[in-house]
């Protein structure tokens, strides 16, 4: 039963990290790039407004950062639960 509980804790941590990453990515790509774009139009980044920047480039950069964050965080979770490579 201890292994089942440990396995559940591992997957709960994994799902929590994935959910956080997806929420951040959704906010940056769909939220800032589409829904909140009119509100961000007054902020200039690189000669264009912030909403356009997120739609064209920012969401991709956030996605790349999230990939590295997920790998780093999952390495820590793997080590905590004894399933590291």
Q: What percent of the chain has pLDDT over 70?
A: 95
Q: Is 48 helix (H, G, I), strand (E, B) or coil?
A: strand
pLDDT bucket at 51, cuts 50 / 70 / 90: confident
Domain spans of the chain, in order of start = 15-81
Read off φ and ψ for residue 35, nearest 5 degrees.
-70, -45
* Tokens 């089942």 belong to residue: 4
Predicted pLDDT of residue 1? 46
Bridge pairing between strands 48-49 and 44-45? antiparallel
């Amino acid at each position: 039963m201890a292994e089942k509980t440990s396995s559940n804790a591992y997957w709960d941590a994994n799902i929590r990290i994935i959910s956080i990453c997806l929420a951040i990515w959704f906010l940056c790509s769909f939220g800032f790039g589409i829904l909140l774009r009119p509100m961000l139009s007054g902020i200039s980044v690189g000669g264009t407004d912030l909403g356009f920047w997120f739609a064209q480039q920012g969401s991709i950069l956030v996605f790349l950062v999230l990939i590295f964050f997920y790998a780093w965080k999952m390495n820590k979770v793997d080590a905590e639960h004894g399933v590291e490579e």
